[in-house]
Amino acid sequence: MYFSMTLSQPTPDPQLNAILHQLVTSVREVLGERLVAAYLQGSFATGGWDRNSDVDFLFVVEEDLPETLLPRLQDVHVQIYEIESYWAKHLEGSYFPREWLKSPDPSCRPIVYIDNGSRELVRSAHDNTLVVRWVVRECGITLAGPPPTALIDPVSADDLRREVFNTMRDWGQEIRTHQYQINNRWAQPFAVISYCRMLHTLHTGRVDSKPAGVRWGLTNLDPRWAGLIQRAWNERPDQYLKVHLPADPGDLAQTLEFIEDALALGETLLDL
């Protein structure tokens, strides 16, 4: 029904636009009429993208993809990954069945997904969240198909806040018990920036960009965290090259304290 890119220049970057065109065209060749729509989400939708961003996409499909189709779809992603481009190696997204996307999915069923920096399709519930639904519906850039408001029900601010606080709490527990390791110069700053951004969502009932979350944190959180937040943001350039470098011990210890403080503040914001 929808055969081509809705926008020829969906982003300000010509190289990325060419890659997105190849992605949508190639996926359409594999999925045929199973493909309903394609959207750009994440930082390109909320704003604040930069040369260190990944590229978050979401394809809507008529129904969950059969395993027999996945090898051909896998070939598409391998071919794109091999393009000599930063963007080609930092695509991340899901193939969301239409009915599962429309409204919240309490069971968080896994869907076909490819992670940032990966060539391999897996099944994951990573994108099966209210946050993704909100971003796509409210900010998503339509690459092909109908506008996202035609496919996704509104997400209430209260439901969005509850999910984000649950993520803060659960992720904090994983960090505290070392199930999620932040002792490197990618994960430690990422945690600081993410908790600023999640607190910002609790405050506004919206999902905004990383830069907006950082600015809000610097302006509104206890001044004792300002240095930690600013250093975390300063680490962002070439972030993926830093995953094997140990975090600064002082910043690591302070990040653990910051997360506990953010959780306490989050409970207060949730109750407002």
What are residue 58's DSSP bridge partners?
A: 39, 94
pLDDT digits (tens, 9 = 90+) for 44-101: 999 889 888 999 999 999 999 999 999 999 999 999 999 999 999 999 999 999 999 9
Q: What is the mean pLDDT of residues 228-238?
A: 93
pLDDT digits (tens, 9 = 90+) for 250-267: 999 999 999 999 999 999
Query: First CA to last CA across the chain, in angstroms?
Result: 45
What pLDDT is attached to residue 133?
Answer: 98
CB contact at 8 A, 172 and 260: yes
Q: How many CA atoms, within 13 angstroms, populate the side-chain half-sphere of residue 243?
A: 4
Query: Rounded to whole angstroms, how far apart are CA atoms 196 and 188?
Result: 13
Question: Residue 2: pLDDT above 50?
Answer: no
Helix (H, G, I), strand (E, B) or coil at 55: strand
| Cα dihedral sign, 194-152-72-51 | negative
- The DSSP bridge pattern shows strands 35-41 and 141-144 to be antiparallel
Q: For residue 115, with 0-12 CB atoms within 10 Å meaning exposed, 13-18 middle and 19 or more buried, which class applies? A: middle
Q: For residue 210, with 0-12 CB atoms within 10 Å meaning exposed, 13-18 middle and 19 or more buried, which class applies? A: buried
Buried b (16+ CB within 10 A) or exposed e, 128-145: bbbbbbbbbbbbbbbbbb
Ramachandran class of 117: left when φ > 0, alpha when ψ lies in -120 to 50, beta otherwise: left
pTM: 0.94
Domains of the chain and any CATH numbers:
14-150 (3.30.300), 157-271 (1.20.120)
pLDDT digits (tens, 9 = 90+) for 91-132: 999 999 999 999 999 899 999 999 999 999 999 999 999 999
Token pair for 230: 């600013």
Q: What is the mean pLDDT of residues 187-198?
A: 97
What pLDDT is attached to residue 1?
Answer: 44
What pLDDT is attached to residue 4?
Answer: 60
Q: What is the mean pLDDT of residues 19-28?
A: 97
Helix axes 157-176, 187-204, angle to 10 degrees: 150
Q: How many CA atoms, within 13 angstroms, populate the side-chain half-sphere of residue 238?
A: 4
Query: Rounded to whole angstroms, how far apart are CA atoms 162 and 143?
Result: 30
Amino acid at 132: V
Token pair for 22: 């190849």
- Of 167, 162, 184, the residue nearest 255 (C-alpha): 184
What pLDDT is attached to residue 103?
Answer: 95
Give me the chain's average pLDDT, please.
95
Token pair for 124: 């994951």
